[in-house]
Amino acid sequence: MSPPPAAAVSSLRRHLAAIALLALLVRAVIGVWATGRGEMEGLSYAYEASGYALAAGYGFIRPVYGQPAEVDLPRLVAEQAALGRRVGPGTAPPITPTRWRPASLHPPGYAAFLCALYELTGQPVGPWARTLQALLDAGACVLVARIGLRLGGRLAALFAGYGSAVFPPLAYLVTSHVADSLTPPFVVLAFWLVLRGLDSHRLGWWIGAGAALASLWMLRPDYAALGPFLLLGAAVLRTGVRPLLLRAAVLLLTVALAVLPWALRNRRAIGEFTPGATSSGLVLMQSIGMFSNPLHIPLEDDWYNREAVRAGFESAEDPRAERMFRTRFLAVARTHPLLVARSWLLRLGLGLVPPYHWGYDNPWYKRNSYYAFLAREGRSPMGTLLHHPTEVLRAYWDRILFLPVSLLLLVGSIAGLVLARARWRDVAVALLPYAYVVLVHLPLYMTMRMLVPGVFGQLIMLGYWYERLVLRRSVRMLEI
């Protein structure tokens, strides 16, 4: 399918500006109102401290598990900023090397982003990061409209662009304080660059796509396979394998070169040549702990740290602990295959119709969520609903509001494919990002924030469905 003509893009120009402005307005409102609260609150402090540690010259490090940090870096940065000073290698207080460890549970992408912002501003990075993230995602909403025009038509483009601009879970995610907040614009950018590469013979598009995919990898290691997945999808749906060989090689080589320094750092710092993170064993075990299970495997991170210490390791971040948890998971999979299959099916249901979180700080959630009852009573989701229906409604009413929206996105995606008829392969490409985030998390721990970056493809398909219905109605009117 050829790219849309310049005239079609030009006719959308005013709408593209309106989409960007509307996206900024929605993100400003939700960003001020929600302030990144909720399930990501604990992670945000760790990411911010890691960014300041890089700026202070300490490196990408963390405190030894069970010991308080010698320096409260976010507090120190705020105090120094109030005095007109900044924390750096020459001004940061000394630390005791034995009380710190090289960080490896998460890649360094978001910490490096926060460090760069601090170097530029000299101020606490929270407001600056959220502002820049909102700007990047507003630009991504414009790209979504361009992608919608490329895969569908004008109505699909407008629906997807405006839909992305006002989608509250997306606005909440990109104004939060964790690595996930940067993933939506980078997923859109990588997908758009791949589409441009498919439309032309210029390898520069594939180099750019590789750089965007590497950035995603350094934000979250679960995006490591997105590049091959998009290539495979393009080969099956569009081009075949042979025309993609050179372009695939360029893209994958770009990604490999970009993540190589991180792998080499890990070999030097923790003794493991790993381009990912030392979290795979932990999240595999958490995939079982997400739901009630006869093995009493919990979800909470601290349990895994205690288990690692009990086994003689410093924490769950130790690469030897990662191997231990991976071995335990494989043993569970061999002895309890139905338990693992059940967790996959439950996550598939969450992936198909997600109860998205949109930033409302529900006061009932912490005490009455499914996870709270799982920890207290060991109940399954259905058991919790049957025994505590009122408490569940109070805890989840804000997320239940989005179930009809999620169902509409699912139905729209299927209906769009059906109405596309002979063109279904062309438009199905739009669903590849969402299919990836669902499939890659089926064997892993899944939260709703992990699904949000792929929603733009569903919005395109929903818009395409509406577009086809309008066109069919117009044809019928002409026949009459």
pLDDT at 478: 47
Q: Quickly state the pLDDT bin for 474 (edges 50, 70, 90).
A: low
SS3 category, 60:
coil
Query: Is 70 exceeded by the pLDDT of residue 7?
Result: no
pLDDT at 159: 94
Query: Is 90 exceeded by the pLDDT of residue 206?
Result: yes
Joined tokens for residue 240: 């075949």
Mean pLDDT taken over the chain: 91
For 449-456, what is the mean pLDDT?
96
Q: How far apart are CA 177 and CA 130, in angstroms?
A: 7
Evaluated on CA atoms 142, 351, 397, 445, the torsion sign reads negative
Q: Quickly state the pLDDT bin for 473 (edges 50, 70, 90).
A: low
Query: Is 60 exceeded by the pLDDT of residue 2?
Result: no
pLDDT at 13: 85
What is the per-residue pLDDT across 185-199, written as a single tens digit (0 to 9) for each?
999 999 999 999 998
Q: For 61, phi and psi rounded to 5 degrees?
A: -130, 175
pLDDT at 38: 46
Q: Quickly state the pLDDT bin for 35 (edges 50, 70, 90).
A: low
pLDDT at 332: 96
pLDDT at 435: 97
Asked if 188 contacts 456 with a C-beta cutoff of 8 angstroms, the reply is yes
Q: How far apart are CA 435 and CA 306, in angstroms?
A: 35
pLDDT at 66: 87
Q: Which of 4-18, 132-146, 152-166 has the least mean pLDDT? A: 4-18
Q: How far apart are CA 337 and CA 11, in angstroms?
A: 55
pLDDT at 376: 84
| Closest CA relative to residue 182, chosen from 453, 458, 455, 456 | 453
Q: Kindly report the length of the chain.
A: 480
Query: Is 80 exceeded by the pLDDT of residue 6?
Result: no
pLDDT at 150: 92
What is the per-residue pLDDT across 423-438, written as a single tens digit (0 to 9) for each?
899 899 999 999 999 9
Amino acid occupying residue 306: R
What is the per-residue pLDDT across 91-131, written as a single tens digit (0 to 9) for each?
999 999 889 999 999 999 999 999 999 999 999 999 999 99
What is the per-residue pLDDT across 357-381, written as a single tens digit (0 to 9) for each?
888 888 888 888 888 888 888 877 7
Joined tokens for residue 12: 């959308």
pLDDT at 240: 85
| Closest CA relative to residue 287, chosen from 94, 112, 450, 442 | 442
Amino acid occupying residue 477: M
Strand partners, 102: 61
What is the per-residue pLDDT across 271-314, written as a single tens digit (0 to 9) for each?
999 999 999 999 999 999 999 899 999 988 899 999 999 999 99
Q: Quickly state the pLDDT bin for 175 (edges 50, 70, 90).
A: very high
Pairing of strands 100-102, 61-63: antiparallel
pTM greater than 0.75 (yes/no): yes
pLDDT at 472: 66
Asked if 370 contacts 344 with a C-beta cutoff of 8 angstroms, the reply is no
Q: Quickly state the pLDDT bin for 49 (edges 50, 70, 90).
A: very high
More confident residue, 31 or 449: 449
What percentage of the chain has pLDDT greater than the value 70? 94
Domain definitions of the chain by residue range: 6-37+127-274+402-479, 279-335
